Amino acid sequence: MEGEERRIDEKTQEKYAHLISILPKKKSWGRYLHMYHGFWYSSFVLNGIMSVQDNFKADPSDVLIASSPKSGTTWLKALVFALLNRNAVDQTSKQVMHSLNPHEYVPFLEVQLYAHSRLPDLDSLPPPRLLATHIPYSALPESTRGDPSCRIVYISLDIKDVFVSFWHFLNDGRHDSHEPFLLEEAFESYSDGVSPYGPIWDHQSEYWKASIERPQSVIFLKYEDMMEDPVNGVKRLAKFLGCPFSVEEEEGGVVDEIVKVCSFEYLKNLEVNKEGEIQFGKMKFMKWAFFHRGVVGDSKRYLTPEMIERLNMLSVRMTCSSGSSP
């Protein structure tokens, strides 16, 4: 069958289940995570990743937003969507941002589009297709890493802030009853690299290397730099995406308006992001949970000096392994 009626056959689903069952596993963040090619995943995420690897075919016009979880993904989705749709939307996408949550505009491949036995009909989407993923660079389908390939926009955040943001997100935003994750226990797993899509330092390092080797296809953005100078960050992003701002747009305040309507505080206060939930695979999260604080350096409020030093050492390890500093 074609399009949305196409399904993964039973033998393929059995193959995925068998592969997952024989992988090394550890319990972390309230569930078992499985080691697959150097990274840790829950079983339903890994099932989606395998389906993406087998079925997704990137188009050269695709734009893929990539990140590790809780690294500024929601903000980046809003920015990229506004940039690519600013001419069609006009008034700098203000009305569009009021309609849907950024994760509804830009779905994740492995936990939304390919999370079920029914395969998505991506061929029906007009170019450029705007998609997202937390999949490590080395595990992406070859069609996203070939030449020519789609553009990949990666955003990173200090691994200390990522941990605290992720801890808050899973404790506050999950739409199910569960015991709170204790900070100290979660920290031990995280700093050992045993966390969803972890180790995060390897995740960031892979995309950093790709951005150095293939700068025409991969851009590596730092959340901290984007927050410090969002106007120039957005202009750099627009140029990379092949839709630079015209002089008239800059003089007319289009860049400033996009920065404003996609800002953390603006999105957080929209009614569309205050109510409802979003399904990621087998889990549901409240929309408001994607807008906790968004503050650089928030980890200092929660981590001990010893915890900070431990993660700083892991950041040094990432720098050494990549040969340069992201």
Catalytic residues: 134
Phi, psi of 305 (to 5 degrees): -55, -35
Tell me if residue 271 falls in helix, strand or coil. helix
Taking the C-alpha atoms of residue 217 and residue 268, their distance in angstroms, rounded to an integer, is 31
3-class state of residue 166 by DSSP: helix
Q: Per-residue b/e over 284-314, b at no fewer than 16 CB within 10 Å?
A: ebbbbbbbbebebebbeebbeeebeebbeeb
Which residue, among 182, 203, 191, has the nearest Cα to 307 in the 3D structure? 191
C-alpha to C-alpha distance for 285 and 276, rounded to whole angstroms: 9
DSSP string, 185-248: HHHHHHHTT-STT--HHHHHHHHHHHHHH-TTTEEEEEHHHHHHSHHHHHHHHHHHTT-PPPHH
Instruction: Please tell me whether residue 40 adopts helix, strand or coil conformation.
Output: strand
Decide: helix, strand or coil at residue 132: strand
